[in-house]
Structure 1
Amino acid sequence: MAEVEVLRVFVGPDGRGGNLLGVVRDGASVPGAQARQRLAAELGYSETVFVDDTERGVVDIWTPSVRLPFAGHPTVGTAWLLGAEVLRPPAGEVKAWTEGDLTWVRGRAEWASGRRTQRFGSPAEVDALPAPPPGEGWLYAWAWADEAAGRVRARAFPRRGDGIVEDEATGAAALVLTAELGRPLDVRQGAASQILTRPHPDGTVDIGGRVSPAP
């Protein structure tokens, strides 16, 4: 049986929230796509990471149903756990670093294709959405909580039919929204999570947040 470490990623400033992440440090203990997808489905987290080369930072990211080329909370969480300066998911090289109690990674919006954003009129409208809302495909519902300050209220609905009804904290979707708006954001997602972002002129976006071991 593979050993799985469980983290909370994008923990809120009050210590609550955070999206659960499973990390298998010894990726070789779960060889093959079928076995990895099966374990990710059994764990039931929105994503599970398999570390295939600790020194080089090679990682394989799975939801309960599909393999992802890139994802935010898995790269932030794994960078924190390994103390990595670079991770290498299938999408490409991801720089990682820490600033105080925040762990940051740098990615590109094209690595997170398929995540559609939809703006609502107020945080109350976002909060009132059923989980999941009617329709198909990945939806990132958001509204300005304080536009001048760049603070956003968001909820995320993968709508893949794999048991993940709502994603507590979604760094890749926050990256896409940041690229669309072209400004730094302070995203408050799910029940109590916080995601910080910063865009750069070259099209990359930094995604940062707090990480802690799950109890």
Structure 2
Amino acid sequence: MAIDVTVLRVFTDQDGRFGNPLGVVDASTVDPGDRQRIATELGYSETVFITLPPEGTHSAHAHIHTPTLELPFAGHPTVGAAWWLRDRGTPIKTLQVPAGIVQISYPGELAAVSARAEWAPTFSIYDVATLDELAAADPDDYADEAEHYLWTWIDQAAGSIRARMFAPHMGIREDEATGAAAVRITEYLSRDLTIVQGKGSVLQTTWSAYGWVEVAGRVVDDGQRQID
């Protein structure tokens, strides 16, 4: 039987452009042993499998897969899951992933997740001197077993940065918007940020001195596809 997949774009700009594609699957429709195969066939940087909240509750469970492996936490799948659940009429307050319990909020038209900084991978962070140098970076030069995050200031006073992320070993040559990396760079700089990543995706972060980082963004529904 064909499996329904909702395709979202997470961390769009205010006009609904850009954003990182995400596959969203109701976990009850899939055998757990098929999750990795489905994520690989879909080919998105991540696919999230959501166990819906029981009636009268406000907590759901999720498993996140790249094309090659399962992740304990990731930002754009958890933001996308939160938005998808609200859109279907079951907003949540927490989302349980293998790394821990993610706090969920819905500020205006955005969906937001709060996560511990240590849940995110330890990215190799590169402070790039100029926007031109960042634009010229070649993902093929970062083909080792690490996640590489390159960034530079757009406006330091305003807390605005430009960023790119490469993780070829995870099947992600270049990621359009990376919530986990946003958590790490926010902790690294210890301040709230507006992050423009990839072709123009936008991530908003809020830093806490207690080890929590909130990542918020806009989400657009790009419709349904089916996979066997």
Band of TM-score, shorter chain? over 0.9
2:32 is aligned to 32
Report the more deviating stretch, 87-96 or 153-162. 153-162
Aligned alpha-carbon RMSD (Å)? 1.3
Pairwise CA distance, 1:124: 1.4
Following the alignment from structure 1 to structure 2, what is the Cα–Cα distance between the partners of residues 198 and 57? 23
Taking the aligned partners of 2:209 and 2:110, their CA distance within structure 1 comes to 22
Structure 2 residue corresponding to 1:66, chosen from 66, 69, 91: 69
Q: Secondary structure at the match of 1:133?
A: helix
Secondary structure of 2:152's aligned partner: strand
Higher RCO structure (Cα 8 Å, ≥6 apart): 2
- Is residue 2:113 matched to residue 1:110? no
Deviation at 1:131, TM superposition (A): 2.7
1:21 equivalent in structure 2:
22
Q: Which moved more, 1:8-17 or 1:202-211?
A: 8-17
**In the TM superposition, what whole-angstrom CA distance separates every residue of 1:78-129 from its partner, at most 9, and x where no partner exists?**
0011022211011111111111121111001110123221110012111111
1:192 paired to 2:200: yes
Identify which of 149, 157, 171 aligns with 1:148: 157
Where does the alignment leave 5 or more consecutive residues of structure 2 unmatched? 87-91, 224-228
Equivalent residue letter for 1:22 = G
TM-score by length of 2: 0.89
The answer (yes or no) to whether the contact 2:164–2:176 under 8 Å persists in 1 is yes
Shift of 1:135: 4.1
- The runs of at least 4 consecutive aligned structure 1 residues that moved more than 4 Å come to none
* Larger CA deviation: 92-101 vs 124-133: 124-133
1:100 and 1:116 map into 2 onto residues whose CA distance is 33
Pairwise mapping of residues 46-65 of structure 1 onto structure 2 (< 5 A)?
A: 46-55=45-54, 56-65=59-68
User: Hey, what's the Cα distance between the residues in 2 that align with 1:135 and 1:8?
Assistant: 26
The 3-state SS of whatever aligns with 2:119 is: helix
The one-letter code sitting in structure 2 at the alignment partner of 1:106 is S
> Does the 8 A contact of 1:119 with 1:142 survive in 2?
yes
Aligned with 1:148: secondary structure? coil
Do 2:66 and 2:170's aligned partners in 1 also have CA atoms closer than 8 Å? Answer: no
After TM superposition, the structure 1 = structure 2 runs for residues 72-87 of structure 1, keeping only pairs within 5 Å, are 72-83=75-86, 84-87=92-95
Structure 1: runs of 5 or more not aligned:
none
Residues matched between the structures, number: 212
Aligned to 1:3: 4
SS at match of 2:185: helix
Letter in 1 for 2:14: P
- Alignment correspondent of 2:40: 41
